[in-house]
Amino acid sequence: MLNLNRAMVLGNATRDAELRTTPNGKSVASFGVATNRRWSDRETGETREEVQFHEVVAWGKLGEIADMIVKKGTKVYVEGRLQTRSWEGQDGGKREKTEIIADNIIGLSSRAESASSSEYQPKSSDSSEAKSDKPKEESKENPPAGKSKSDEEEINLDDIPF
């Protein structure tokens, strides 16, 4: 008999990813994702909306990557499996939480969108160049328009995080 435990959500991060390290040294990140469902009420014709909140956990290197790309308000795609864990609360009551244990996380917001919603701070040299009236000199640090610094550098496969 076949079994399948798969979750795929596409929504907005409800908070920045929080990266922690377990006592044995393994990285783990957690964050929330909100998804919306819209429909028209048959009786009133009114557009209705329902929001669902999903807790996401990413382990190891994926957790470290999530910490870099998941900022509050950014659009993310998360793929993984559902897992429910239980524990006893401080008041003695039983608690349960269902989470998505991520296998894949893709940040879908553009750099400009994520910069406005996260704590992006331009480098001091970037802000001084933007205010300068002098023409920029062509160099490796300031390539001409249409070329980026990365166009001139070789890509090292060991630098790719996945």
pLDDT at 150: 42
Instruction: List, in sequence order, every residue forming a beta bridge with 20; answer none if it has no partner.
Output: 28
Q: Report angle CA 30, 12, 59 to the nearest 5 degrees.
A: 20
Q: Which tens digits make up the pLDDT trace of 88-143? A: 999 999 999 999 999 999 999 765 454 433 333 333 333 333 333 434 444 444 44
157 pLDDT band, cuts 50/70/90, is: low
**Does a structural domain hold residue 146?**
no
Q: Are 54 and 32 in contact (CB under 8 A)?
A: yes
145 or 29, greater pLDDT: 29
Q: What is the CATH number of the domain that holds 114?
A: 2.40.50.140
**Does a structural domain hold residue 112?**
yes
Give, rounded to a whole angstrom, the gap between the first and last alpha carbons of the chain.
33
Residue 13, domain extent = 7-129
**Does a structural domain hold residue 159?**
no
**Does a structural domain hold residue 11?**
yes
**Does a structural domain hold residue 158?**
no
**Does a structural domain hold residue 55?**
yes
Q: What is the mean pLDDT of residues 47-71?
A: 96
List the single range of 26-40, 102-116, 147-161 with lowest mean pLDDT.
147-161
**Does a structural domain hold residue 135?**
no
Integer Cα distance of 152 and 28 in angstroms = 35
Q: Report angle CA 14, 88, 3 to the nearest 5 degrees.
A: 65
Arithmetic mean of pLDDT over the chain? 78
Q: How many domains does the chain have?
A: 1
**Does a structural domain hold residue 139?**
no
Q: What is the mean pLDDT of residues 68-93?
A: 95
